[in-house]
Amino acid sequence: MENFSNYSELKNANKIWAIGSLHSSLDSFQSIKKYILSNFELDDKLVFLGNVIGFGNKSKEIINEVLELRFNLMAKYTLKNTDIIFLRGAQEEMFSKLLQLHIAPNPIEILDWIFSHGVDQTIISYNFDPDEFKKTVTQGTIKINKLTTQLNKQILNTSGHKEFFSNLKHAAFTDTMETLFVNRGVDISRPLSAQNDCFWWGYQNFSKIDKPYFSFKRIVRGYQSNKLNDIENAKTKVLCTLFKQPLENKKILAGIFAKNGNIIELFESK
């Protein structure tokens, strides 16, 4: 597969736990974290389906929380790095664009757009002022580079955060190639090896998929933009979406899956 490092294969999984978009909902994540720690078993795997950060101003704190969960599980069950996967969501993608704003051809337009989609709250969590970015982005490349360098240093100096952002995967799949985990969608006209950024931006009418995507009988995703979520009938569908609009909804959806795609359990934060 081309650029295989962007994908993660879940080998010899007992069960796969999947967590939908967190969007910095720190309090809601606590019950999810507690439930996983109490019920995780040997040879289980864990996939965060992207959008860990964004919208809330606790992005820095939520990354600390998911990394702590990762550390505890790896220590207790002697897990490999490939047993706990973090996918790239739209929020992580937009944040990466912010960190490279100094090389963008249209930095003002990009900043306005990503701030309107929740990235302004992410930089607040790292003790940066969105208004400072709005002012600096009009002052040229050198000034922008100075500010983005400061933000990059803040991430580097926060234990585990640089590694978190550097190791985000595009998708994960079971070794049986029956279950696929993504943030938002796939281009169903292309094989997995030929996908583009629709993993986090979505693909037209993907929510209506009603047949397997190549060998994948089940696709589990962590975000959808529309308000229609047929989670109650997910067991009979190809697509299982672990997210419910609106964005103001602080509930986090999660699930446990067999490697053949069967849904073992669906649950949400308290």
Q: Is 245 part of any domain?
A: yes
CATH of the domain at 57: 3.60.21.10
Could you state, in chain order, the average pLDDT of each consecutive group of 10 residues for the chain (270 residues)?
75 97 97 97 98 96 98 96 97 98 96 98 97 97 98 98 97 98 96 93 92 97 89 92 91 97 96
71 and 203 in a single domain? The answer is yes
Last residue of a domain, one of 161, 181, 203: 161
85 and 180 in a single domain? The answer is yes
206 and 242 in a single domain? The answer is yes
CA–CA separation, 175 and 27 (whole Å):
34
177 and 239 in a single domain? The answer is yes
Q: For residue 25, give every residue at least 6 positions away whose Cβ sits within 8 Å of its Cβ, in sequence order, or none.
A: 56, 58, 62, 250, 252, 269
Last residue of a domain, one of 161, 190, 214: 161
13 and 146 in a single domain? The answer is no
Q: Is 2 part of any domain?
A: no
- In terms of DSSP bridges, do strands 179-182 and 253-257 run parallel, antiparallel, or are they unpaired? unpaired
Q: Is 1 part of any domain?
A: no
Q: Is 3 part of any domain?
A: no
Q: Is 151 part of any domain?
A: yes
Is residue 31 within 8 A of residue 270, CB to CB? The reply is: yes
142 and 182 in a single domain? The answer is no
Last residue of a domain, one of 161, 193, 213: 161
Number of domains in the chain: 2
215 and 116 in a single domain? The answer is no
180 and 249 in a single domain? The answer is yes
157 and 29 in a single domain? The answer is no
Inter-CA distances, 111 with 96, 119, 136, Å: 12, 9, 11
Q: Is 104 part of any domain?
A: yes
122 and 255 in a single domain? The answer is no
215 and 119 in a single domain? The answer is no
117 and 235 in a single domain? The answer is no
Per-residue pLDDT at 229: 83
Q: Which domain holds residue 148?
A: 92-161
Q: Is 172 part of any domain?
A: yes
- Which tokens belong to 211? 């047949």
Per-residue pLDDT at 227: 84
The amino acid at residue 244 is K
